[in-house]
Amino acid sequence: MDRLRASWLWVGLGFAGLFGCGTPGVRPADPVVAEPTLPARTTKTTEPVQPASDDGGCPDGMVEVPGGKLRLRASRDEVTLARFCMDRTEVTMGRYAACVKAGKCSDQHLDEFSAEGTFYSLDDACNYGEPGKEDHPMNCVDWNQAATFCKTYGHRLPSEEEWVWAARGGPRGTTYSWGEAEPSTQLCWSGISKRDGTCPVGSFPADDSPEGIHDLAGNVCEWTASVFEYEPKERMLCGGAWSDNHWLGVRSASHEGEPPASRGSSRGFRCVHDLP
């Protein structure tokens, strides 16, 4: 068992360092479970929705992203995006833990990954319950857990188009969230020196969008609401992660489709909120 676990961990870390979870056409850094048959959860709650500001702006902790027109890829039609609000940071472990404590979110398998139906511990890489990591991104969550958290607070997961639009700086269309300069020390990744996990959210201000949204290139790649165009049973992940060591993995256009039940230490999420 220990040898098998070590083998999977080596493979996972090896692919994470080479490709990252966001590189198109590459399987994820972390082993995944089989395709689930569970539908997305619908959570009923009496917990109040986070209020918008008095001037009709965004809820606390979110920033407004202006709308515009976007064509993701040559094979896709141009879409018109309305303005929306997006979390300034990835959802932190502390926020998610509070949702679990309130009985609104699930803590199932948050310190594990699954390979061929057998679960193996990833305590060192997953943040949930780790002292001192309350301000790190909540990772090792599957798609349903991420979507449920957002819905609980009156929000939703972003579409791929919304996520990329925010990461590219809207109409600027930049390669990276900060512009065109090659990635160096301005983000939480392993391209300069190898990391063994996530960073506190917002600790790399150079990895900010023009609207001040943090960590769109690094820290964790993020679940979206969008279906993967080449495999309708999968959901899209966008962005780069702490495990990436190549510029391809941290581009604004970096994306990957994965089964909704898959989870890993390089995966997290943030929410968006619709504006009238």
Q: Which long-range contacts (CB under 8 A, 24 or more apart) does 53-62 make?
A: 56/275, 56/276, 57/85, 57/275, 58/85, 58/273, 58/275, 59/85, 59/154, 59/155, 59/273, 61/87, 61/88, 61/89, 62/86, 62/87, 62/88, 62/271, 62/272, 62/273
| pTM for the full predicted model | 0.80
Percent of the chain with pLDDT over 70: 75
H helices of the chain, in order, are: 2-18, 93-101, 143-152, 160-167
Q: Which of 11-20, 67-76, 115-124, 238-247: highest mean pLDDT?
A: 238-247
List the CATH number of the domain containing 195.
3.90.1580.10
Residue 20 belongs to what domain range? Answer: 2-274
pLDDT of 109 reads 80
Average pLDDT of every residue of the chain: 80
Looking at residues 110-119, what average pLDDT do you find? 63
- Distance of alpha carbon 45 from alpha carbon 165, whole angstroms: 31
pLDDT of 7 reads 29
Per-residue pLDDT reduced to its tens digit, 89-99: 999 999 999 99
In the structure, what pLDDT confidence band is assigned to residue 137 with cuts at 50, 70 and 90? very high
Q: What is the tally of structural domains in the chain?
A: 1
Query: For residue 223, what are its two tokens?
Result: 């679940």
Looking at residues 198-206, what average pLDDT do you find? 96
